[in-house]
């Protein structure tokens, strides 16, 4: 099955000519005279992202000119055609000449068509595309579907998406793919030895929980994905200012990325034993909230001094990572909207990742370019671990110094993973501050397409 916005073999589709400054003259000469004259009258120039809708003599849409990056562009954008669904009228279109990467262009078209319509009246515009030759329609549909799932979750406000609803989303996904889900909820977290998940979530009227999804053969390579599921983050007793709290519905973006990735992996039937762990909480304020200066005992047994209740994500991740590590998996991946320091360092579009596995780092760096899911490696710099020393506990969960906040957070998480063959931590933003081609403003899934490409390359059938 392919996406409803894709179609095969439609001869009546409106052509889109992808033009560069180098190719425009030759393509223009092949246009009908009326279309050529109209483009000239409009003063059309083939700048990247510039479109010109060409009428026929009766005024009907005959074709589209769209500027793309040329071969000499220093930073070509393979998602540039994702701008087209926002520009074109409803209808069916085809690329008259092949994009530089047809699969990424098709994916960009689908991702650029995304709209979050849960709370709006109106109908979505169906701007459809003929599937380019050589593109696997099922694969591109699977990837786009996973991203849409994650975007919908991030965009949903916390009044409609709390810990229970995050669990429901995981259960719905499990039912779709024949996976199984177990949860540990509320006071049972203490009984099952998840004390830090409980501590962070206990102040909310909505019970904290650990969601545990399993899929695949027990004899297959073990891959565990951990996603931070803070449905809303007030900052706890270290209360955030209103400007910082406004977007905190997105603080479950790690859980959204984990579920998006799971949808891709299970949909592709990759031969892995997949486990998804989502600690889902709301970091609220009440008389039972955990406090700065508290010392919490973790699942791993390490005692953790609390320096700031607004650094709650690493606490719930630590318990989940310790559980993941107990199975000695081949790979643990965690996604988390963890630090503002990562945004200061690299901005919203370029999440840092951390790993001690050099081969894994090289593969992620290479594949990030191939699938246009950008990341940048930052170091697990051992000397900075001294910033997490505590005088009363085994470790402090935040640094007392105003430096390297993303690095020290990653170093904290690394303390809870010892047995896994490899571990990678992604400090994601999960949000597009403004609309770009293929990336509408709002919730975003970062890192999931990249890790899917990694798993497909390493474990896919015939790999």
Residue located via tokens 């409106």: 14
Q: What is the dihedral of CA 426, 116, 138, 229, to 10 degrees?
A: 30
Residue 380, φ and ψ in degrees, nearest 5: -85, 80
DSSP state of 11: T
Could you confirm whether 314 is annotated as catalytic? yes
CA angle in degrees (0–180, nearest 5) for 234-237-240: 40
Among 306, 399, 403, 288, smallest CA distance to 345 is for: 403
Rounded Cα distance between 155 and 119, Å, is: 11
Q: Which of 28, 94, 115, 240 is catalytic?
A: 240
Contacts of 209 (CB under 8 A, 6+ apart): 163, 164, 167, 183, 184, 185, 186, 189, 197, 201, 279, 280, 281
CB 252 within 8 A of CB 313: no
CB 287 within 8 A of CB 202: no
Query: Strand 222-227 vs strand 273-283: parallel, antiparallel, or unpaired?
Result: parallel
Rounded Cα distance between 127 and 92, Å, is: 6
DSSP state of 206: S
Contacts of 342 (CB under 8 A, 6+ apart): 351, 352, 405, 406, 427, 429
DSSP track, 39-102: HHHTT----TT-EEEEE-TTS-EEEEEEE---TT-SS--TTGGGGHHHHSPSEEEEESS--SSH
Alpha helices in 163-280 (DSSP H): 163-177, 188-191, 195-201, 242-245, 253-267
Could you confirm whether 240 is annotated as catalytic? yes
Q: Which of 128, 250, 300, 314 is catalytic?
A: 314
Q: Which residues belong to the active site?
A: 240, 314
């Amino acid at each position: 099955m392919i996406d409803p916005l894709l179609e095969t073999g439609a001869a009546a589709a409106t052509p889109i000519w992808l033009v560069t400054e180098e190719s425009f003259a030759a393509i223009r000469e092949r246009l009908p005279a009326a279309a050529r004259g109209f483009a000239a009258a409009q003063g059309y120039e083939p700048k990247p992202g510039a479109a010109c809708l060409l009428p026929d003599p009766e005024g009907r849409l005959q074709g589209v000119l769209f500027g793309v990056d040329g071969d000499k562009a220093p930073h070509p954008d393979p998602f540039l055609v994702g701008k087209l669904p926002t520009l074109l009228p409803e209808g069916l279109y085809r690329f008259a000449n092949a994009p530089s990467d047809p699969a990424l262009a098709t994916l960009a078209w689908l991702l650029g068509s995304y709209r979050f319509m849960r709370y709006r009246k109106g109908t979505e515009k169906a701007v459809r595309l003929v599937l380019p030759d050589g593109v696997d329609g099922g694969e591109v549909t699977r990837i786009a579907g996973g991203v849409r799932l994650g975007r919908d979750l991030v965009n949903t406000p916390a009044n409609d998406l709390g810990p229970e609803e995050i669990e429901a989303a995981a259960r719905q996904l499990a039912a779709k793919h024949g996976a199984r889900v177990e949860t540990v909820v509320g006071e049972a977290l203490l009984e099952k030895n998840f004390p830090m998940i409980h501590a962070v979530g206990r102040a909310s009227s909505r019970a904290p929980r650990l969601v545990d999804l399993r899929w695949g053969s027990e004899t297959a390579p073990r891959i565990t994905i951990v996603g931070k599921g803070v449905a809303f983050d007030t900052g706890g007793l270290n209360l955030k200012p209103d400007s910082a709290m406004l977007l905190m519905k997105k603080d479950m973006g790690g859980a959204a990325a984990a579920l998006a990735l799971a949808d891709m992996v299970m949909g592709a039937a990759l031969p892995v034993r997949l486990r998804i762990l989502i600690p889902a909480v709301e970091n609220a304020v009440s008389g039972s909230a955990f406090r700065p200066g508290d010392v919490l005992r973790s699942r791993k047994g390490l005692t953790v001094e609390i320096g700031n209740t607004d650094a709650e994500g690493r606490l719930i991740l630590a318990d989940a990572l310790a559980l993941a590590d107990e199975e000695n998996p081949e790979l643990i991946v965690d996604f988390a909207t963890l630090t503002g320091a990562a945004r200061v360092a690299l901005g919203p579009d370029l999440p840092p990742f951390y790993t001690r596995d050099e081969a894994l780092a090289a593969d992620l760096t290479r594949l990030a370019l191939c699938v246009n899911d950008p990341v940048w490696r930052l170091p697990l710099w051992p000397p900075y671990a001294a910033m997490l020393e505590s005088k009363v506990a085994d470790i402090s969960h935040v640094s007392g110094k105003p430096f390297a906040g993303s690095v020290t957070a990653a170093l904290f998480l690394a303390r809870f993973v010892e047995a896994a063959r490899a571990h990678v931590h992604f400090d994601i933003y999960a949000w597009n501050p403004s609309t770009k081609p293929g990336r509408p403003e709002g919730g975003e899934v970062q890192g999931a397409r990249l890790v899917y490409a990694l798993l497909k390359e390493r474990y896919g059938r015939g790999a």
